[in-house]
Amino acid sequence: MKVYPLDLAELIRARDWEGIYALIISKLPLIVAAAVILIVGFLIANLLGKLLVKALEAKGVDPSVHHFLRVIFQLVLKFAVVLSALSALHVNVNSLVAAVGAAGVTAGLGLQASISQIASGIQILLHRPFKSGDYIDIGDVSGNVQEIKMMYTTLITLDHRRVIVPNSHITDSNIINFTAEELRRIDLEFSVSYDADIEDVRRVLTTVTAVNPLILEEPAPVVAVKGHGESAIKIICMIWCHSTDYWPVFYYMQEEVKLAFDKNGISIPYSQLDLHIVKDAKKQRRFGSLS
């Protein structure tokens, strides 16, 4: 009975097709087991990937992150399945794992910035500090969120400029979300003369706020004296509106309060400078000495 070497590479180099066939036949049970592991393992990986997406949907995670997490999750599972299949064939997978690990470290060092952006994107999409359509401020830029991607977030400013912000910059900054809450308070300050009647000022401001339907009755507007300035009394007017109505209400109050103050004879003090010109300095000094 002829004995064939167990090294497939050696048989291929020798072009010993009979030996190759005999080796395959001898390894057939292992090959079948490895194939079963691959097929069943890949099916389970795909199934678990679908279950992961359903779990993310149930938790309200942004849909744009579903595909990315599913692909990463399935790749890890399928790599583990391949290693299991190779182990069933009695293949030494230690060298393969070491090679993949070394390649991963090298790629990680080269793509460190990109990986940081992706990690920040996942963090934003999972924790959802804001969503598309929200108006946010991240310190040096503010605007409405148009799009959230894995690498960056797109904002549209109030003057309609598109700003592309790296996700790592967002996660490293303080985020102010102005539209996260349904209601928002507007704090306005007005200056009136010391000669003005406080009750009359309160009546005028209350009337202006009551006319606009965008200004909410509950919580009720608050009009009060905030302080006493050098030349004017400072009046604070705090009103509530829906977050989406903030700017229309803000501009309405700026215009209508000025018109109402003028109509009711309430003066708004402003800085004045009195300039006295002396034509004859010598005469001024002489008159000054006589007095």
Q: Tell me the C-alpha distance between 260 and 266, whole Å.
A: 8
Boundaries of domain holding 160: 129-177
HSE-up (13 A, CA, CB side) for residue 74: 18
Domain boundary residue, one of 82, 110, 138: 110
Mean pLDDT computed over 113-127: 73
CATH code at 158?
A: 2.30.30.60
| pLDDT bracket for residue 275 (50, 70, 90) | low
Block residue for tokens 């794992």: 97
Asked whether 42 and 81 are in contact (CB, 8 A), the reply is yes
Residues 37 and 89 in one domain: yes
Q: Tell me the C-alpha distance between 15 and 205, whole Å.
A: 99
Residues 91 and 12 in one domain: yes
CATH code at 12?
A: 1.10.287.1260
Residues 246 and 202 in one domain: yes
The number of folded domains in the chain is: 3
Helices 28-58 and 66-88: crossing angle, nearest 10°?
Answer: 160
Residue range 162-207, pLDDT digits in tens: 999 888 888 888 889 988 888 999 999 999 998 889 999 999 999 9
What is the residue type of 159? D
The answer to whether residue 278 scores a pLDDT higher than 70 is no
What is the residue type of 9? A
Query: Would 195 be classed as within a structural domain?
Result: yes
Global pTM exceeds 0.85? no
Query: Would 60 be classed as within a structural domain?
Result: yes
Dihedral (C-alpha) 22, 26, 29, 34: value to the nearest 10 degrees?
A: -80
Q: Would you state the structure tokens that stand for residue 136, as one six-digit string?
A: 């946010």
Residues 36 and 88 in one domain: yes
